Structure 1
Amino acid sequence: MTRDPAASGPPPEEAGGVLTIDLGALVANWKSLAAKAPGAACAAVVKADAYGTGIDRTVPALARAGCRTFFVAHLSEGARARAAAHDADIYVLNGLLPRTGQAYVRDRLRPVLGSAQEIAEWAAFTAAEGVRIEAAVHVDTGMNRLGLSVPEAIATGEAGLRGCPVNLLMSHFVSAEEPENPINARQLDAFAAVRRAFPSFQGSLANSSGVFLGASAHHDLLRPGYALYGGNPQPGAANPMLPVIGLEGRILQLRWVEDGDTVGYNATWTARGSRRIAVISVGYADGFPRAASASDGRHGADAMVGGVRCPFAGRVSMDLIAVDVTEAPRDLGRGDPVSLMDPAISVDHVASSAGMSGYEVLTSLGRRYARRYVD
């Protein structure tokens, strides 16, 4: 059999599940977000293996669509992004670890400098090596993780960075997905004040949800991540993004359980009447959250089976999920697909059923799936 060149992982006929990544939807989401701020450029955050979708495939698709700037978390991710986008600007969000300058030069990566010590080390390194790779400076406007404090940044000013190649000033929203949260206004004001101390630098503040906070959040460069991959950047409202992820598990066995029978570990789910159960070859070892389990007192996640929404039955185990398919078509058989994520069952639904964030679900997608890329 000839393998599909757009596939990766084990062959679909040998895999317990098939993960489909729609590169066309990914690109459409990027274009949609870019259109929200026509005066700004739109980057793409591709850390965590492009949120589980695969840097090696998503970065080239976005680059072909016109994306010229990418953000990763680690140097190793930067190297993979560089191999996939030879001419792009690639920033490493986690900053400059000691004595890693040569790695930035080797792969033409740009560090995001988050402290006076990092700034000094980058300035000394680039001067000693005679190289000019422009970096970004990260200012903490409220997250209290990485970055210069606002007073520290203003006191440094543009003059304080003379001799250190920097072209971008950036910060990160704390609660952009909550438009009414007053911390958004405080961060907007703080970042505007910092930018006045760096009049020739470009600015970047808006993450996925920040894109929807309006022009005051846009600045020169948008940095969407989660929304690119189909996650809802506006919780509580209709999702404006196209779904990118599809996940199917395969039926290993169909069985009937009778009224009062239990299913799964610790007997947490009890059949109410005679129920037909499909056992699916996907589990938490594949990155599907165990917390999406169902019990007598909790609904858990759902699956789409033959066009019918069917509830989970019992706990998600390491390699298996049981689904109550009593209401699904009766012509199901061993090996048939069951949809665990699709346009009807979004990554946000799975996350909500597990008490998690969609970011966790996406970035946990396992390597045992057959991966299928479509455009």
Structure 2
Amino acid sequence: MALDQETLDQLLETLHRFVHERLIPHERTVADTDRIPDDIVAEIKELGLFALSIPEEYGGLALNMREEIEVAMVIGEAAPAFRSLFGTNVGIGSQAIVLDGTPEQKEKYLPRLASGDLVGSFCLTEPEAGSDAGSLRTSAVRDGDHYVINGTKRYITNAPYAGLFTVMARTDQGSKDARGVSAFLVEKGTSGLTVGAPEKKMGQQGAPVADVVFDNCRVPAENIIGGVENMGFKTAMKVLDKGRLHISAVCAGLASRMLTDAVRYTKERTQFGNAIADFQLIQAMIADSETEIYAAKSMIRDAALARDRGEDTKRKASCAKLFASEMVGRVADRAVQMYGGAGYIADYGIEQLYRDARLFRIYEGTSQIQQLIIAKDVIASTD
């Protein structure tokens, strides 16, 4: 059930204050320490951000897609690491269980995912598989009432502090594509599961990424999502559009933040006796950025409403993700340019957001993968 508009507005206003009074002031600390402070984590839990998309009976807020993207746009105004903390719990870490999990799996995991006491992590990418998911090599072999998982997952967000890993592994060893892949719920501390050291990254410090290694990792057979083999990618596809729209909204939020910061700077910075905001070439960058942000938000909202109506939004979600992730990169670049030399200096903050924005064109499906999805769908639907 959708929230009434007054309740949604109150939620967004509360989150807006939280973003600007608590998160943004801590961005530099998070970047320097590569860690979100414990008190901020506690506040994120208290606000229910881990529970956005989880059904109410399991302690969630049960937001629909339209509501979730509005929340994501607000949260997106802060450095992306904050959203990344709860992003998997909102996305595939919970939705795979919500949509296809057994009643026992829902009862066991969803309340703890909703509270944030359990942080989720999604293990798909491998050293030789990512966009080419059909090349997945991690194997899961049935052995009595367990599966034995072997393989390495790479660039796994939240891995160092995750309590629950959603692991994609090949259960049909004779298959050569994604149809032989299953999804498993693997708890932290399971024998044979090892998390590597966090990687040093270009941006998004505070959202740790690491390898996850499975070495004869024995997982109870009851932990295969839905209790059925070879359904992992079918489950993932059901929530893929949702994740892409969520990320698109985060991109739009971050772009809005960077433009606002840059415009404030141009109104304060003077050259040749005038604020540089008065210069037409600066105004052109402002206008181009605002137009693209408006276009992205319009696309995202249209696709979200279509999803809530039950329509197939594969194409629209890919269009939104492609445009929004490329857009936020362009806005970030213009923002640095508007700051001039100050934009290259860490003290002003924009260089951090510039680096943070670069990842959006890669994860949740690269821009090139989105182009292929869009083109193939257009071709298939054209007589």
**Would you say same fold, with TM above 0.5?**
no
Instruction: Judging by fraction of residues, say which structure has more helix.
Output: 2
Q: Determine which structure has the larger strand proportion and give its number.
A: 1
Q: Which has the higher contact order (CA 8 A, sep 6+)?
A: 1
